[in-house]
Amino acid sequence: MTPYPFSAVVGLTDLRLALLLTAVSPHVGGVLVRGEKGTAKSTVVRALAGLLPAVSVVRGCRFACDPAAPDPQCPDGPHPADSPALDRPAALVELPVGATEDRVVGTLDIQRALADGVKAYEPGLLAAAHRGVLYVDEVNLLPDHLVDLLLDAAAMGRAHVERDGVSVKHAARFLLVGTMNPEEGEPRPQLVDRFGLVVTVGAPREPRSRAEVVRRRLAYEADPAGFAARFDAAEKELADRIVAAQDVLPRVRLPDRELDRIARVCLAYGVDGMRADIVVARCAVALAAWHGREVVTSEDVRDAARLALPHRRRKDPLDPPGTDEERLDEALAEAEAGLDEPDDDPDGAGGPPGSGPSGPDDGGPSGPDGAGPDGSDDAGPNDADGAGPDGSDRPDRSGLGGPGDISEKSDMRGSGGAPRGDAQPGVGAGAPAGPDPQDSAGKSAALEAPAVAAGNPYRARTLAISRRGEGGHAGRRSPAFARRGRVVGSRVPRGKLAGAPHLPATLRAALHRGARAVDPRDLRESVHMGREANLVLFVVDASGSMAARKRMTVVKTAILSLLRDAYQRRDRIGMITFRGHQAEQVLPPTSSHEVGVLRLASLRTGGRTPLAAGLRTAAATIATERRRDPRRRPLVVVVTDGRATSGPDPVTVAPALSGVAAVVVDCESGPIRLGLARRLATALGADLMPLDRLEAAAPTTRKAA
């Protein structure tokens, strides 16, 4: 089917510019696109492949070797200098969420290696994406080790397969693009940092733009080929511009003054490490090439910083990403002020500010025409107030005007963060929460205790399920049979070999048959014991008995510490609160731990204590999740003092959670204690953890920094 044209996309200027910059210079490091569902993330990425120049490959090579410079380590090589070649479009390879490590990097055919004595390598998706685009949808749902493989290959330009002492290497240079929905949870900050650019997108907030999106989509569905033909001129102009920018790129010069600006911005913004400086520099060079200039300007640095920095300042893994765009503006202003100060470098190693030839700093729009291609007769309306195409106050310097740039009067930031106005106070911020929209007790806000802030989280004790699971979800919490980990045995493979072979067991099977050679039916695969992620379901007492301000602060700090622990162990989380006369599922099971932090921040207390209702709601939630995912094991964490002043005795409903691993965090305090939480833990068959013992013991020795 004819793909949707890249230039027909309405708005999303920062996203389109980021993709085009990585097409010009893959060394920028790829693009991560964050956005809610239905915001054309996949559409734009798939459309990019049609703009890339065709590649010349060695005929018959499964690894897309360049005839002019074939890979000397190509498994299909070596290729002679006069190898026949063919031209083909750049590949667009999509990596599914359920892909295995063997499918990604390729694998050795162990059956043929043992039976025939030959080394047969089956290429993976990295080989197919060489010199093209590797698109990973829902990259935040991929297992961590697969994301590590992708980012390592993208950084090194090579894929490496090791299996039983035999290694295979091949070139794997591709344009990496990942998309994700923040509602499904955030990837590790360390992994987000490995993407060169991160752009946040959202639906248009202006009626004309939304109407234009629908108009174009309906026209495309009615006649894909005819719709695409209307944008042929615009697509060709963008493709030619990519080629022209690639030709200019090697000649682009980064003046010392702009390099100093980049260093000052990164220092003022408080990023860690040097990757941010390098990415901003590469992005600024690509921007200059995109605009047809051979010298980087201050505006190139500013635009590069807005694309490359907002996601790199997260100091806490549960901080919402990109919530400090104002801080970036301040950092840019500080860098500008610093450049105007006299240089006090006695050695002159960096050169005085402004030394060496420098590009103009006026920051005006540049490029051959100052606007993008116009390939359609139904270009949307343009605003006359000078606002940028993403609804911000800054001008559009992307050079992507034209049919795709309907002005969106949106509240969405241009890059790297959540929409404006959506930021909520963190748990530790101490800001008052808004009114509770779902007061289960039906009481007025005046009768409730105000929401209190948590203290600084600590390292919580490890809570785990003692029984072994099936390892359906890679994680770090509970023991399970998994694809990775220490070898604890062997088994007959179910169909194709799923993991590494267990050679001693394979040889024993052959000897048992009395054979002198190993046959494929003798193969045994290794059984690994690793760790899996769980569903951690928090059942929190929010009744009046927990309403003492100091006490609730301690409880919220404990829950926040457990939330952070669940994030680090790759768990899904859910939260149920009970007060008044009923329980409420305030957070359905999700991978978005940040949402859990925000819900915890607004948690209010007051009313009676329907503990039994909380346990029933937990049992119903677990039953629903088991129908969706039978392999994920639940761990229920009940945070209560054990008092039940509303509803039946909680001990009578404990059988509803029979067979479910549970921990009761005893919040009872004071000189006189009733031991009700211990009674509940006994009925649930759960471990009892006093609140003041939830913090893990500090290590006796620490490694030197």
Q: How many CA atoms lie within 13 A of 615 on its CB side?
A: 29
Residue 512: alpha-carbon gap to chain centroid: 49
Task: Output the six-digit token pair for 81.
Answer: 């200098």
Residue 695, C-beta contacts closer than 8 angstroms, at least 6 positions apart: 458, 459, 460, 461, 561
Residue 258, C-beta contacts closer than 8 angstroms, at least 6 positions apart: 284, 296, 297, 298, 300, 301, 358, 359
Active site residue 103: no
Out of 208, 210, 275, 483, the active site residue is 275
DSSP H or E run through 474:
strand 474-482
Beta bridge partners of 170: 159
Beta bridge partners of 535: 572, 634
Q: How many CA atoms lie within 13 A of 150 on its CB side?
A: 36
Alpha-carbon distance of 670 to 675, in angstroms, equals 12
Cis peptide before 78 (omega within 30 of 0): yes
Which residue from 377, 510, 459, 495 is spatially nearest to 699, judged by alpha carbons?
459
E-strand stretches of 155-225 = 158-163, 166-171, 175-180, 197-201
E-strand stretches of 290-405 = none
Query: For residues 553, 559, 560 and 562, what is the CA-based torsion angle, rounded to 10 degrees?
Result: 150
CB neighbours of residue 102 within 10 Å: 18
Alpha-carbon distance of 400 to 389, in angstroms, equals 9
DSSP H or E run through 536:
strand 535-541
- Residues with catalytic function: 275
